[in-house]
Amino acid sequence: MTLLAESSGDGCFSPRKKSDSQISQSQSIKEDVESILGKNPLLKPKDICHLLGLQYQKYRDYVSHIRSKWKSDYKSRVGLKCLSFHGVHGWVLVPASVDRSRAYLVGWVQSRARNRMLVWKDEYGRLEWFETGRCKVWVRRPANKGRALQLVCNGFSLSGLVTDMKVLDEILASLRLKGGTAVVETGERLPYLVIDLFKVSNGIKIKTGDDTHPTCFEIEFSYPDWAERNEKLLQDLLHSMNSIKAPAGIQQGPRGENLSYVA
């Protein structure tokens, strides 16, 4: 039983009991309101009362309270869970000391591409190792950095290709996640739409109503190629400036030859 305050004639309040039938009715109304909001969260209290056959003036405040609490709980319960990463891609740098000729013996496969890349596949994703030493990393869903590191370990360490832990640590430390695909579930069939206006400038592409995810927003994001090229150019420039020795007779500044602070 629930105790409520009841006013007496002298202005004092005395507790009275709320009947089980009233509690059951309140619970039923709460469940009905939440059910309706689950189908259409944009409904106002007046619309909800009309659909449930309730007197608006009598139940307005109660329905408004349920609606407000439901919206707050729904955001905290579903807001982040509806977002999932269906794929992440990046790259690592493999030292030249790692023998590519042994890769065929431990599970790597030579592709038919002209760039002669080596391919590793397992349940975590795919690795594409190029002759330049760059190895692309493609992680399957659910994608995260931990699974990316495990994929690299499988291809280079657990396969037996790399036995020196220092070399493996160097490869893992070079991991750079460049982009991926985030999917937001809406529960409703969406019209097909592609927004690629910001793909070149910001590396963002948005799709809705795609055949693979007809009820989702798909957000494809990636580190722009031009930004990566500029970053590499800046690193080369800083390396060149740090390698230049000051001529004899010229006093160096307080920072000496190390110009890494420029970045």
Which pTM value belongs to this model? 0.52
Same domain as 237, residue 220: yes
Average pLDDT over residues 202-225: 82
Same domain as 173, residue 205: no
* pLDDT higher than threshold 70 for residue 29: yes
Residue 208 lies in domain: 186-243
Q: How confident is the model at residue 15 (pLDDT cuts 50, 70, 90)?
A: very low
Same domain as 114, residue 57: no
Same domain as 163, residue 218: no
- Spatial contact of 222 and 203, defined as CB atoms under 8 Å apart: yes
Query: What is d(CA 138, CA 154) in angstroms, rounded to the nearest whole number?
Result: 13
Q: How confident is the model at residue 216 (pLDDT cuts 50, 70, 90)?
A: confident
- The verdict on residue 199 lying in a domain is yes
Average pLDDT over residues 157-162: 88
- The verdict on residue 4 lying in a domain is no
Same domain as 88, residue 36: no
**How does the average pLDDT of the chain come out, rounded?**
78
Same domain as 202, residue 151: no
Same domain as 45, residue 104: no
Q: How confident is the model at residue 25 (pLDDT cuts 50, 70, 90)?
A: low
- The verdict on residue 20 lying in a domain is no
Same domain as 88, residue 173: yes
pLDDT of residue 22: 52
Average pLDDT over residues 159-173: 90
Same domain as 49, residue 37: yes
- Spatial contact of 260 and 238, defined as CB atoms under 8 Å apart: yes
- The verdict on residue 46 lying in a domain is yes
* pLDDT higher than threshold 60 for residue 11: no
Same domain as 204, residue 157: no
Report the CATH number that the domain containing residue 158 is assigned in CATH: 3.30.310
- The verdict on residue 17 lying in a domain is no
Q: Which of 150-154, 183-187, 226-230 has the highest mean pLDDT?
A: 150-154
Residue, of 127 and 86, whose pLDDT is higher: 127
Which residue, 12, 46, 81, sits at the end of a domain? Answer: 81
pLDDT of residue 82: 52
Query: Could you tell me what percent of the chain has a pLDDT over 90?
Result: 12
Query: What is d(CA 78, CA 84) in angstroms, rounded to the nearest whole number?
Result: 12
- The verdict on residue 18 lying in a domain is no
Same domain as 57, residue 88: no
pLDDT of residue 246: 53
- Spatial contact of 176 and 148, defined as CB atoms under 8 Å apart: no
* pLDDT higher than threshold 50 for residue 210: yes
The number of domains in the chain is 3
- The verdict on residue 1 lying in a domain is no
- Spatial contact of 143 and 86, defined as CB atoms under 8 Å apart: yes
Same domain as 65, residue 106: no
E strands, the chain, are 2-7, 13-18, 83-93, 109-110, 118-122, 125-129, 134-140, 176-185, 193-195, 204-208, 216-222
pLDDT of residue 119: 92
- The verdict on residue 261 lying in a domain is no
pLDDT of residue 26: 67
